[in-house]
Structure 1
Amino acid sequence: MRVPFIKMHGLGNDFVVLDARENALPALDTSRAAAIADRHEGIGCDQLILLEPSKSADFRMRIFNQDGSEVGACGNATRAVALLHGEEARIETAGGLLSASPSDGGASVDMGAPRFDWDAIPLAYPMDTLSMPVGWEMLEDPGAVNVGNPHVIFFVEDTDAVPLDRIGPDIENDPLFPERVNVNLATIESRSRIRLRVWERGAGLTRACGTGACATAVHAMRRKLVDSPVIVALPGGDLEIAWEPGGTIQMTGPATESFRGSFEWDDYA
């Protein structure tokens, strides 16, 4: 069975998109998703995106990380899919219903309302998610936000001075986070700009993480460190994040189609 795909990226966070809205595909499981995402023996991507019909929205988006695990949200992929769709759309995801509008070279996405309750992150036991009394080596006093998937955020003087590739896996898999966690290291550069690096759950170090940018911006606003909107500068480029308490998060940034191709479904069994 020959299957077409579209390779896309948002600020270097790259995706293989399978569009099954009109022509259904066989069931996609963890091992096949990981095989397709493998950068050495597969097509290669940070996330595999599967588009399907939806009864509650314009279409459904399923998101598989590089290790094949399915997750609830991906901000960069949502912008890419909005660009591919070509018009305003309501998108069903496991993390909730999103609204996206394509713009010149990218898209704006309503990422929904952030969640702060400890059991909504989720954490293993109750604590204040605005200032968590935990730490790992030099990283202390984090906050936690769920924006369709779980994030923990640390503010540091210099994001590049922290060995995130070494500490990230320990935090991601700490028992405090029953569903694992995305790890964000942020440096506040001004009231209008944050510099950010992200260790992404199931994918590792990434050039950009849309939900990480949203979670970090919201947490910085809750701590009154920045104003809305704020620019979040990631290794792959900048995103603009706007949020007011009680409202939903608005994310705006670029997305790009890289190329198209096809593969044999059974090659990645």
Structure 2
Amino acid sequence: MKIHFSKYQGAGNDFILIDNRDLSFKDTDKNTVFQLCHRRFGIGADGLMLLQNHPDYDFEMLYFNADGNLGSMCGNGGRCIVAFAKHLGIINQETDFLAVDGPHYAKISEKGDWVDLQMIDIDTINKDGEAFVLNTGSPHYVAQMNGLEDYDVFHHGKTIRNNDTYKKEGINVNFVEDKGDHLFVRTFERGVEDETYACGTGVTAVALSMAQHKNQTGHIKTPVKVLGGDLSIEFDYDGKQFTHVFLCGPAQKVFEGEVTI
């Protein structure tokens, strides 16, 4: 069976997108998704998404990790599927769609290459030693450090993700260096089991954690640099709750094609 797909990337976080409104893609078998996402034997991607109809929203987003498992919320994936929906003519400049962690609002540039995605509100940030632990649609561990450019993110991220506390459910591990005018972030992602060029829910978790750490309140805009480019997190914080949280950044179509499964 041939399936038409599009490949999108958001700050280097890349995804296979399939218009599944007709439910023609029925094979969400773990091995099939894994093979499609494989960078040697498939299309290659950090994850796969299905865009499907929903009676109460513009569309529904189903996200699968590169390991083939159904995933939790993916922020950059959410931004890319909004761009995909615009290019399909489903939406114009704004949308309300459904993801695994609930409804999301987003707005997209006229050219369709920049998306501001509203994330869930956050009122709880826990600590694990000096690190922050929170859920921004996916679970995240945030550790501050210096010299991040030369840090072995794969080794240390994998070690934390697989320790006794997090091994069963898994966690995304973010390392952040405060550069003054921006944050530099590198992330080891569960489900990919490797460092990725960007992680949307991850940079969101980092920005919120650092705001709490610095005792910042009010309307905050945090520029973030990742391996794949530049992102921005905007939110309101009253000292207790983070609201109006937006993940902002590029979303670009790379190519499209057909694959036989």
Matches within 5 A, 1:218-257: 218-224=208-214, 228-245=220-237, 246=241, 247-257=243-253
Map Cα deviations across residues 191-250 of structure 1 (whole Å, 9 max, x no partner).
x41000010112111111111110000100111176710101001111110112231311
Residue number among 173, 184, 189 corresponding to 2:162 in the alignment: 173
Aligned to 1:95: 101
Q: Confirm whether residue 107 of structure 1 aligns to residue 103 of structure 2.
A: no
CA distance in 2, matches of 1:102, 1:170: 37
Structure 2 spans left out of the alignment, 5+ residues:
87-91
Q: Is the 8 A contact 1:115 1:145 kept in 2?
A: no
Consecutive aligned runs of 4 or more in structure 1 exceeding 3 Å deviation: none
Residue number among 194, 199, 202 corresponding to 1:209 in the alignment: 199
How much has 1:61 moved relative to structure 2?
A: 0.7
How much has 1:13 moved relative to structure 2?
A: 0.9
How much has 1:174 moved relative to structure 2?
A: 2.1
Report the TM-score, using the length of structure 2 for normalisation: 0.89
Bigger mean CA deviation after superposition, 210-219 or 97-106: 97-106
CA distance in 2, matches of 1:193, 1:226: 15
Code of the residue aligned with 2:200 in structure 1: it is: G
Change (3 A) 1:2 1:41: same
Bigger mean CA deviation after superposition, 220-229 or 99-108: 220-229
Map Cα deviations across residues 92-127 of structure 1 (whole Å, 9 max, x no partner).
11122111111142111001212526xxxxxxxxxx
SS at match of 2:179: strand
SS at match of 1:71: coil
CA distance in 1, matches of 2:230, 2:215: 18
Code of the residue aligned with 2:83 in structure 1: it is: L
How much has 1:162 moved relative to structure 2?
A: 2.3
Map Cα deviations across residues 31-72 of structure 1 (whole Å, 9 max, x no partner).
111011011111111111111112332111111111112212
Q: Is the 8 A contact 1:115 1:147 kept in 2?
A: no
Aligned to 1:64: 64
How much has 1:3 moved relative to structure 2?
A: 0.8
Change (3 A) 1:148 1:68: same
Aligned to 1:55: 55
Aligned to 1:152: 141
Code of the residue aligned with 1:183 in structure 2: it is: V
Aligned residues: 245
Q: Is the 8 A contact 1:80 1:106 kept in 2?
A: no
CA distance in 2, matches of 1:81, 1:159: 30
SS at match of 2:206: helix
Report the TM-score, using the length of structure 1 for normalisation: 0.86
CA distance in 2, matches of 1:58, 1:173: 38
CA distance in 2, matches of 1:53, 1:24: 12
Aligned to 1:194: 183
Map Cα deviations across residues 135-162 of structure 1 (whole Å, 9 max, x no partner).
xxxxxx1001101100000000121232
Aligned to 1:19: 19
Code of the residue aligned with 1:61 in structure 2: it is: M
More strand by share: 2
